[in-house]
């Protein structure tokens, strides 16, 4: 039942968050939100943090789930490709430090650009099927959660987690780890919502894919009934 899943979501998010906070409280610095990897490193990095690792795992899981939807729920394939492609782009972005350090500087930007261009080309070519897929599944709790996660990741974090803002707020007391910790934990809740949305969307996409088609006359009657109810 759906309400059981929501209890599981709440318990899982609370447990992971509790584990991260207790790890830092028990051993200060264990979250590795600001470490210097060598003597030449000036800014430091948080890429080795458990928080960043969990974010990458969540994105990988979202990509796998969307790949399953694209394979087994053909009617929802355009939406699955859209959000699966976005998960791939996020995943590459989360690994930017390792691409720059161990492969080629700014390679991640090239990979994200290529993935974004291919995704845009696919969505443009499948725009009609995308509209049909949305019409079949909307309103959708899963897409609502995905939207909420996108608002946090695309709007809230870049603005509120911006370093100059924290430098202005804290003044002489500014420490970079404060801004990084806030930014990473807010990103984590955004990814949690993205994960919940992906799972809920997969359940709904499966239900739509295996739904028995209704006769045209019955569909028209139900539409007239819904329209009549919507007037009051």
pLDDT in tens, 24-49: 888 888 888 777 766 666 666 777 78
Residue 192 lies in a domain: yes
Residues of the chain below pLDDT 70: 1, 37-44, 211-232
Residue 232 lies in a domain: no
Residue 127 lies in a domain: yes
Residue 222 lies in a domain: no
Residue 230 lies in a domain: no
Task: Please tell me the total count of domains within the chain.
Answer: 1
What pLDDT, in 10s, does the model give residues 120-157?
A: 898 888 888 888 888 888 888 888 998 998 899 888 88
Residue 23 lies in a domain: no
pLDDT of residue 196: 92
Residue 31 lies in a domain: no
Reduce the secondary structure of the chain to three states and give it as a string: CHHHHHHHHHHHHHHHHHHHHHHHHHCCCCCCCCECCCCCCCCCECCCCHHHHHHHHHHHHHHHHHHHHHHHCHHHHHHHHHHHHHHHHHHHHHCHHHHHHHHCCCHHHHHHHHHHHHHHHHHHHCHHHHHHHHHHHCCCHHHHHHHHHHHHHHHHHHHHCCHHHHHHHHHHHCCHHHHHHHHHHHHHHHHHHHHHHHHHHHHHHHHHHCCCCCCHHHHHHHHHHHHHHHCC
pLDDT of residue 11: 92
**Residue 106 belongs to domain spanning:** 49-210
Residue 176 lies in a domain: yes
């Amino acid at each position: 039942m759906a309400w059981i899943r929501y209890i599981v979501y709440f318990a899982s998010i609370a447990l992971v968050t509790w584990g991260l906070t207790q790890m830092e409280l028990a051993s200060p610095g264990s979250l590795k939100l600001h470490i210097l990897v060598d003597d030449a490193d000036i800014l430091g990095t948080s890429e080795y943090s458990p928080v960043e690792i969990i974010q990458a795992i969540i994105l990988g899981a979202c990509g796998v789930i969307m790949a399953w939807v694209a394979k087994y729920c053909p009617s929802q394939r355009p939406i699955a490709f859209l959000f699966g492609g976005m998960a791939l782009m996020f995943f590459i972005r989360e690994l930017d430090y390792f691409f720059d350090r161990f492969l080629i500087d700014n390679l991640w930007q090239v990979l994200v650009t290529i993935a974004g261009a291919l995704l845009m080309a696919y969505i443009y070519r499948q725009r009609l099927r995308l509209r049909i897929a949305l019409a079949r599944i909307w309103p959708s709790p899963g897409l609502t959660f995905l939207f909420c996660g996108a608002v946090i990741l695309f709007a809230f974090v870049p603005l509120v987690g911006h370093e100059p803002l924290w430098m202005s707020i804290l003044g002489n007391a500014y420490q970079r780890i404060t801004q990084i910790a806030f930014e990473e934990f807010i990103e984590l809740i955004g990814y949690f919502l993205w994960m919940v949305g992906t799972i809920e969307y997969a359940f709904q996409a499966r239900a739509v894919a295996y739904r028995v088609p209704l006769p045209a006359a019955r569909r028209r009657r139900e539409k007239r009934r819904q329209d009549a109810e919507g007037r009051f």
